[in-house]
Amino acid sequence: MSSPVPQNSPAPEVVCIGESMVLITPVASRLAEAETAAIGHAGAEANVAVGLVAAGHRAAWASRLGDDPLGDRLSSELERRRVQLWVERDATAPTGMMFKDPGIESSDVYYYRRGSAASAMAPGFLSAERLAGVRIVHTTGITPALSPTCLDMVDQLFADARAAGATVSFDVNDRRPLWSREHAAATLARLADAADITFVGRDEAERIWGTATPDEIRAFLPSCALLVVKDGDVGATAFAHGADPVFVAAPRVEVVEPVGAGDAFASGFLAATLEERSIGERLSAGHAAAARVLVTHADMPPID
């Protein structure tokens, strides 16, 4: 399998690796009763890339898509948002799909991604040479859940990113339908503790590891250089080696739909990291980015 070929443009500051899918969302009703639906984009890593570009930074999304109209649609949407594409197209495997029933407290999601083009990513998809000059490499716990080869790819990615001099950023992003709790708990703990920057929701950490508080999560993940624990509308706490924890409360917003807010938070935090801002300012930037997504049904903010 050949490596993805970047466009002729300046090297990205951040490369985000993971699957994107076409998102089908019913209009004005639940999925079972809907007569019309909106077609959009879903994909945690691409969402982060979009947020970084919106914040004024160069970001690339690396993945595989089917050589089909859905892949064309996703590529066009990300190009329209000025994300660099490091993408392979696969004529033998489809672009993944996701259906969503949105709700204020939570959303029901239905995946159609088994055997997708992205699930065939494997070690060597991105080499250390390809990542030369990149400052941050970001992925999530969704990617290693897609297939055994994707898990192997993420393990190699951590090593190759560091060999290229990049910071490794990892968002736990546990997705229950994709793998067993036992496999997820062990794998996500290993990757989260090995990353340079890790994002995790307090609730998902309690669900998969039984760690109920930010301090317990930090004790469970002691090696990560910068651990960010998000606690919904309460706020977020950052733990850095050699420093006291920093907590920043979340702003009050009228939530329309929560999906995508975690990705937006990561994009805001990483943008402020690139700008070498303080930990507190990075948390505030994450909250501000998340707030822009919480007030819409879309996973991405509108283009200004």
Residue 1 lies in a domain: no
Residue 9 lies in a domain: no
Instruction: For 26, list phi and psi in degrees, rounded to 5.
Output: -65, 150
Instruction: Give the position of tokens 């990542």.
Output: 131
Q: Which structural domain range is residue 157 located in? A: 14-294
The angle formed by the CA atoms of residues 156, 184 and 227, to the nearest 5 degrees, is 70
Residue 237 lies in a domain: yes
The answer for 242, left when phi > 0, alpha when psi is -120 to 50, beta otherwise, is: left
Residue 4 lies in a domain: no
Sign of CA dihedral 264, 107, 169, 217: positive
Q: What CATH number has the domain bearing residue 257?
A: 3.40.1190.20
Structure tokens at 207: 């669900």
Q: How many domains does the chain have?
A: 1
- Rounded Cα distance between 144 and 61, Å, is 16
pLDDT tens digits in sequence order for the chain, 304 residues long: 344 544 456 789 999 999 999 999 898 888 888 899 999 888 999 999 999 999 999 999 999 999 999 999 999 999 999 999 999 999 999 999 999 887 656 678 888 999 999 999 999 999 999 999 999 999 999 999 999 999 999 999 999 999 999 999 999 999 888 899 999 999 999 999 999 999 999 999 999 999 999 999 999 999 999 999 999 889 999 999 999 999 999 988 765 555 668 999 999 999 999 999 999 999 999 999 998 876 455 555 555 5
Residue 246 lies in a domain: yes
User: According to the model, what pLDDT value does residue 2 have?
Assistant: 40
**Is residue 263 flagged as an active site residue?**
yes
Residue 141 lies in a domain: yes
Residue 2 lies in a domain: no
Contacts of 99 (CB under 8 A, 6+ apart): 23, 24, 25, 31, 109, 110, 112
Residue 47 lies in a domain: yes
Catalytic, out of 90, 160, 174, 263: 263
The answer to whether the predicted template modeling score (pTM) of the entire model surpasses 0.85 is yes
